[in-house]
Amino acid sequence: MKSLRNVFLGALAMGCMTATVSMAAPNLLGNPGFETGVLAPWAIVGGAGPNATVTVGSPDNGPTLPGTHHAFLSNHAEANGLTLAQTTGLGTGAPGTVFYSYDLKTGPTANGGVFFVEIFAQNAVGAVIGNAGLQGNYTPANWTHFSGSFNAPANTDHFTIQFEAPTGAVIGSISSMEVDNVSLNQNLPVGVKNTTWGRIKQLNR
Ligand SMILES: [Ca+2]
């Protein structure tokens, strides 16, 4: 009996492992950890200037995934909305739950500089038809993983996620942040799907 039980537990463990691997949610974003060493397909969509830049930095890396690179938003221009964004491809989204996560680590901030994240659901012609709500103001002193979900409405076709480092309308206002391991997907997070239980039931017969 003992050996049968061990066979069962071994098979169960293998079933769980297989299920976990097959459940890995595909990320809709390209270069999500900035490990290519360049920003693309991320783009600076607002506020770029001599005193407001987004660069890929190394060797600092967010805790969620291995790597050596991150994006660094550095805004030293007053009353300026420096924004880094990525829009997923046409047809990559659908109505339903959208899961998001990202790692953040605050850089120098002063005199009204703040940091927000926004995620938009868009229809096939790019109009914004839903959103995850304004997230922030974020001020994590050390690398911190943030995650959540929102419901994409009918006619959702694709998404945009953007990281915003706006400054206040005073000289000396600074907003800066390191960003890494950004994920946007519509599959259940790893470990939530119930296919594993079907395997257990089979094995129990
Ligand atoms: Ca990285």
CB-based contact 134:171 (threshold 8 Å): no
| E-only strand ranges, the chain | 43-46, 52-57, 70-75, 81-87, 96-106, 116-122, 128-131, 135-136, 144-152, 158-166, 175-185
Instruction: List the end-to-end C-alpha distance of the chain, in Å, as a whole number.
Output: 15
CA atoms of 53 and 140, how far apart (whole Å): 20
Rounded to the nearest whole angstrom, what is the distance from the C-alpha of residue 202 to the centroid of ligand 1?
A: 40
Rounded to the nearest whole angstrom, what is the distance from the C-alpha of residue 31 to the centroid of ligand 1?
A: 9
Model's pTM, two decimal places? 0.81
Residue 187's pLDDT band (cuts 50, 70, 90): confident
Domain 28-187 CATH assignment equals 2.40.50.70: no
Rounded to the nearest whole angstrom, what is the distance from the C-alpha of residue 186 to the centroid of ligand 1?
A: 22
Calculate mean pLDDT across residues 163-167. 98
pLDDT tens, residue by residue, 7-34: 444 444 444 444 444 455 699 999 999 9
Rounded to the nearest whole angstrom, what is the distance from the C-alpha of residue 179 to the centroid of ligand 1?
A: 8
Rounded to the nearest whole angstrom, what is the distance from the C-alpha of residue 102 to the centroid of ligand 1?
A: 11
In the chain, the amino acid numbered 9 is: L
Boundaries of every domain in the chain: 28-187
* Interacting residues of 84 by C-beta distance below 8 A, sequence separation 6+: 39, 42, 43, 44, 45, 54, 71, 73, 162, 163, 179
